[in-house]
Amino acid sequence: MQSTEINRPREPQSRQIPPPWLGTLRLTLLTLAGALALTTLALLSSGVSPLQAYRILIFGAFSSPSRFSDMIMLAAPLLLCATGLTLTFRSGLYNLGVEGQLALGAVAAMLPLRLLPELPVPLLWTLCFACAAAGGALWALLAAGLRLYAGVSEIFAGLGLNFLASGLALYLVLGPWRRSGSASMSGTELLPRDLWLPTIGTLRLAPLAPIVALAALAVVWWALQQTRWGLELRAVGLNAEAADRLGVPAHRRIAQAMAACGLLAGMAGAIQILGVFHQLIPNISSGVGLLGLLAALLVRADPCRVLPVSVVFASFTVGSVQLPLALGVDSSIAGVLQGALVLFALLARGLVSKPR
């Protein structure tokens, strides 16, 4: 069963018998070396100086206040998704439906904005986040229900529900919620300015977004590491049947983990609506859920390390915007680096654990 071990989120300390930091160091070095080698190869093949490209990719997002704000506004929903996914990974689930949960959260966030626009703005924001959380959680529970009661793998249930959620967003954008007099996939009418989350000066940084994300991370870390509930969740992830026999309500924990992940993804959807796009667009998730999956995979669902990885991934993405301008290389190289990191992290884990 070697192959399954590679991919599987599990307790970091359970594997390494020699000094644990040595294993971690080897893993990290292997991962970085592999990912950099692959990305460098891609850069060299397009005739670009890898050093300059890396400088932009890694530090680009920190080179001006406006880029830094954009990085934060991408990192916040990313962190929410990745945080949620640590819960599902820890309970042994691959919640691929996170994209759809985010999209449904975004759709749900639009409901109070459209139905009760006359409410006081802070109340409206609260309602938005509440609806988004409920929408995301509901969507995740659907996948959990299919998993628990119909035997459908949550991977495929999630995938199917992703299509359904983006279909719903599309339908709303082109149908009932379209701009007056037009029908375009480009999105609904922009929200009135006073409904946008307040930003710092002329920057696009809305402080509420990172605050919500960090608070969510703290709660999840606490719940996973410090509570009996978290212990049970991890037990279910290690062996659901054994946990069940030992008196852990495994089904309930699985459903709770999914719902919590959906709730956080839904809140990420509310941030996309209120803080980033200020309208509903068909691709409202903009791949943040998928990136969150990569981030969670890279750190083996360790809530302590989800934050730095989310920031790093967001920096790559924001930094890469300058690549075509500065070096004439396509910005999708950021995706290559992100993907390569995850791939080599998985590979390195496989290699390091093999000799046992």
Partner 1 sequence: MRPSPHRLLALLFAVALLGACSQAPAAPPTTAPAAAPPTTAPAPEEYVFGMVLVGPTNDGGWNQAHFEGAKYVETKVPGTRLIYIDKVNPADRPNVQVEQAIEELISQGAKFIITNSAEFADGTNVAAAAHPEVYFLHASGDAVLRGVAPPNVTNLMGRMEYGKMMAGCTAALQSEAGKIAYLGPLIDPETRRLVNSTYLGAKYCWETYRGKPADSLTFKVTWIGFWFNIPGVTLDPTRVATDFINEGYDVIVSGIDTTEGIVETNKASQAGKRVWAVPYDYREACTQGEAVCLGVPFFNWGPRYAEIIADARAGKFTPQWEWIGPDWSDINNLETSMIGFVKGPALTAENAATLDEFIRKLADGSLNLFTGPLNYQDGTVFVPAGQVADDKTIWYTEQLLEGIEGQSAP
Q: Return residues touching partner 1 (CB under 8 A).
A: 1, 3-4, 7-8, 52, 64, 66-67, 70, 74, 91-94, 96, 99, 153, 155-156, 159, 162, 166, 170, 174, 178, 181-186, 190, 202, 204, 236-241, 250, 254, 276-277, 281-283, 286-288, 290, 293, 317-318, 321-322, 324-331
**Measured between alpha carbons, how far is 204 from 163 in angstroms, rounded to an integer?**
30
Minimum CB separation from partner 1 for residue 149, in Å? 15
Minimum CB separation from partner 1 for residue 254, in Å? 8
DSSP state of 178: P
**Measured between alpha carbons, how far is 123 from 129 in angstroms, rounded to an integer?**
10
- Residue with smaller CB distance to partner 1, 127 or 166: 166
Report the Cα 141 to chain-centroid distance in Å. Answer: 18
- Residue with smaller CB distance to partner 1, 103 or 307: 103
- Residue with smaller CB distance to partner 1, 64 or 126: 64
DSSP state of 46: T
- Residue with smaller CB distance to partner 1, 15 or 26: 15
- Residue with smaller CB distance to partner 1, 40 or 322: 322
Minimum CB separation from partner 1 for residue 135, in Å? 21
- Residue with smaller CB distance to partner 1, 39 or 147: 147
Asked if 216 and 86 count as a contact pair (C-beta separation under 8 A), the reply is no
Minimum CB separation from partner 1 for residue 282, in Å? 5
Name the nearest CA neighbour of 144 among 127, 161, 124, 122: 161
**Measured between alpha carbons, how far is 330 from 223 in angstroms, rounded to an integer?**
41
Minimum CB separation from partner 1 for residue 153, in Å? 6
- Residue with smaller CB distance to partner 1, 20 or 167: 167
Minimum CB separation from partner 1 for residue 288, in Å? 8
Minimum CB separation from partner 1 for residue 130, in Å? 26
- Residue with smaller CB distance to partner 1, 171 or 222: 171
Minimum CB separation from partner 1 for residue 337, in Å? 15
**Measured between alpha carbons, how far is 187 from 169 in angstroms, rounded to an integer?**
9
Contacts of 306-313 with C-beta under 8 Å, sequence gap 24+, read: 306/79, 306/82, 306/83, 306/86, 306/217, 307/79, 307/214, 307/217, 309/82, 310/75, 310/78, 310/79, 310/82, 311/71, 311/75, 311/79, 313/75, 313/78, 313/338
Residues making up the chain, counted from first to last: 356
- Residue with smaller CB distance to partner 1, 127 or 240: 240
> Cβ contacts of residue 51 below 8 Å, gap of 6+?
none
Asked if 132 and 284 count as a contact pair (C-beta separation under 8 A), the reply is no
Minimum CB separation from partner 1 for residue 23, in Å? 22
Exposure string for 191-213, b = 16+ CB within 10 A, e = fewer: beeebbbebeeebbbbebbbebb
